[in-house]
């Protein structure tokens, strides 16, 4: 509710030196809950609705937002009239006071202190985001490790097939499968000497036979080592921000490598589907096809050659039909709005 002038109760005008040390994040949460319920900022029990001294040092603990259409008076500049909707919980270490004030209102009283306080606030928010990320996601490490372990046989067989359908197929049957299929399936059309190629169909899962593809198993093993080698403190809440940042970066990188490898597996498996091989086979039988090619997937067998009579059998491992394990979903934390107590941090880290 916007007013031309607020009636400030005498209790709000008293200095409340309750905060000897930098207030914990729970103070910001309390303020957010207080104003969210429609209470005026100047009635919060810890707020001192007094003017700070010129040049007095300040530290910003966190921000808050009033309900839509609401404004609050600022003790720095407009103590009785509406001024701001977006505010800061500000701590003044010399006087041990907390003031709820506009985001930029203190700048004219102490420009350098204002900028320093903002930098400190951003650093703390980043630190909270990192801690929250780790506490929410590190307990999923064992699930990720188990998923990678189950995916290794699938990756190994696909890597073997990359070689079998690559240089080994060229050596035995003189068929360069990658060269034939990499640009899709083409057919020759036209008359007499005016022939040109047109598209017949696309081929799925070409990553399987791409000779430049890196081995998937090697990527999974890199991810597995990354997860196994994490140096996790006994109590994350006591670790330095630098330590937590390094840990979060290494953990995120290992999971990213694993996700890329899992995506590669899914793409490669598409090549071996009955539907995909049937499309290639139908194309290879056409007189207008650029090459003669026969390929059929039946059960755990992949038959391939220029014709059905000349086709060789390539045995497929049972792993190829195994359901893909699932990597855990990783939550992305924003930092503000996060409250981590020492007790909750210990309870999480002891599960790792």
What digits encode the pLDDT tens for the residues 39-75? 999 999 999 999 998 888 999 999 999 999 999 999 9
- Write down the pLDDT at residue 191: 67
Query: Which pLDDT value is given to residue 3?
Result: 52
Q: In what order do the strands lie in the sheet with 312-315?
A: 294-298, 301-305, 312-315
Structure confidence at residue 328 (pLDDT): 94
Residue 347's pLDDT is 32
Task: Indicate whether 129 pLDDT > 90.
Answer: no
Strands 301-305 and 294-298: antiparallel
- Say yes or no to pLDDT of 205 above 90: yes
Neighbours of 4 (CB within 10 A): 7
Q: What is the pLDDT of residue 158?
A: 97
Q: Give the model's pLDDT for residue 7.
A: 93
pLDDT (mean) for 262-271: 97
Q: Which two tokens stand for residue 296?
A: 């059929």
Mean pLDDT of the chain: 89
- pLDDT at res. 322: 86
pLDDT recorded at residue 122: 87
Give the model's pLDDT for residue 190: 75
pLDDT of residue 346: 32
- Number of Cα atoms under 13 Å in the Cβ half of residue 329: 3
Q: Above 90 in pLDDT, residue 8? A: yes
Dmax (CA) of the chain: 101
The DSSP code sequence of 83-137 is -BSEEEEEEETTTTEEEEEETTGGGGT-HHHHHHHHHHHHHHHHHHHHHHHHHHH
User: What pLDDT score does 345 carry?
Assistant: 36
pLDDT mean over 285-301: 92
* Residue 262: C-alpha distances to residues 105, 152, 301 (Å): 51, 10, 23
Q: What is the pLDDT of residue 125?
A: 82
Report the alpha-carbon angle 95-96-100, nearest 5: 100
209 vs 188 pLDDT, higher one? 209
Sign of CA dihedral 191, 192, 196, 201: positive
Nearest in space to 37 (alpha carbons), one of 67, 2, 7: 67
Instruction: Please state, in angstroms and rounded to a whole number, the distance separating the CA atoms of residues 238 and 240.
Output: 7
pLDDT mean over 336-347 = 34
For the stretch 144-185, pLDDT in tens is 999 999 999 999 999 999 999 999 998 988 889 999 999 889
Q: Is the pLDDT of residue 91 over 90?
A: yes
The band of 269, judged by pLDDT with boundaries at 50, 70 and 90, is: very high
Q: 268 or 192: which carries more pLDDT confidence?
A: 268
Give 294-348 as a DSSP string.
EEEEETTEEEEESSTTTPEEEEPPGGGGSPPP-PPP-PPP-STT----HHHHHHH
Q: How far is CA 37 from CA 115, 239, 301, in A?
A: 30, 35, 67
The larger pLDDT score, comparing residue 236 to residue 314, is at 314
Question: From residue 81, how far is each of 4, 74, 91, 295 by CA, in Å?
Answer: 6, 8, 22, 81
Paired tokens of 100: 């709820």
**Res. 265: pLDDT tops 80:** yes
The answer, yes or no, to whether residue 337 has pLDDT greater than 90, is no
């Amino acid at each position: 509710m916007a007013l031309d002038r607020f009636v400030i109760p005498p209790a709000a005008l008293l200095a409340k030196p309750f905060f000897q040390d930098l207030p914990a994040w729970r103070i910001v949460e309390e303020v957010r809950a207080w104003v969210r319920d429609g209470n005026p900022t100047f009635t919060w029990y810890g707020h001192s609705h007094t003017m700070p001294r010129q040049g007095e040092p300040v530290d910003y603990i966190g921000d808050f937002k009033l309900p839509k259409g609401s404004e609050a008076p600022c003790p720095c500049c407009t103590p009785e009239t509406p001024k701001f909707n977006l505010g800061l919980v500000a701590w003044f270490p010399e006087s041990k006071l907390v003031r709820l004030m506009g985001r930029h209102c203190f700048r004219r009283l102490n420009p350098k202190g204002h900028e320093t306080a903002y930098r400190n606030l951003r650093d703390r928010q980043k630190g909270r985001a990192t801690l929250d990320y780790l506490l929410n996601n590190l307990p999923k490490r064992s699930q990720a490790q188990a998923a990678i372990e189950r995916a290794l046989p699938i990756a190994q067989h696909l890597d073997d097939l990359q070689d079998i359908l690559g240089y080994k197929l060229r050596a035995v049957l003189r068929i360069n499968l990658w060269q034939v299929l990499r640009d899709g399936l083409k057919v020759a059309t036209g008359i007499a000497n005016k022939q040109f190629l047109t598209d017949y169909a696309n081929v799925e899962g070409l990553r399987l036979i791409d000779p430049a593809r890196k081995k998937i198993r090697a990527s999974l093993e890199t991810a597995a080592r990354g997860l196994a080698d994490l140096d996790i403190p006994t109590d994350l809440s006591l670790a330095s921000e630098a330590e937590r940042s390094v840990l979060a970066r290494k953990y995120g990188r290992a999971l990213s490598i694993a996700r890329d490898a899992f995506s590669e597996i899914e793409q490669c498996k598409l090549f071996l589907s009955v539907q995909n091989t049937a499309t290639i086979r139908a194309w290879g039988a056409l007189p207008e096809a650029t090459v003669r090619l026969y390929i059929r997937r039946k059960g755990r067998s992949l038959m391939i050659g220029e014709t059905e009579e000349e086709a060789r059998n390539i045995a497929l491992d049972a792993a190829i039909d195994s359901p893909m394990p699932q990597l855990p979903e990783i939550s992305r934390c924003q930092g503000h709005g996060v409250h981590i107590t020492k007790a909750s941090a210990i309870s999480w880290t002891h599960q790792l």
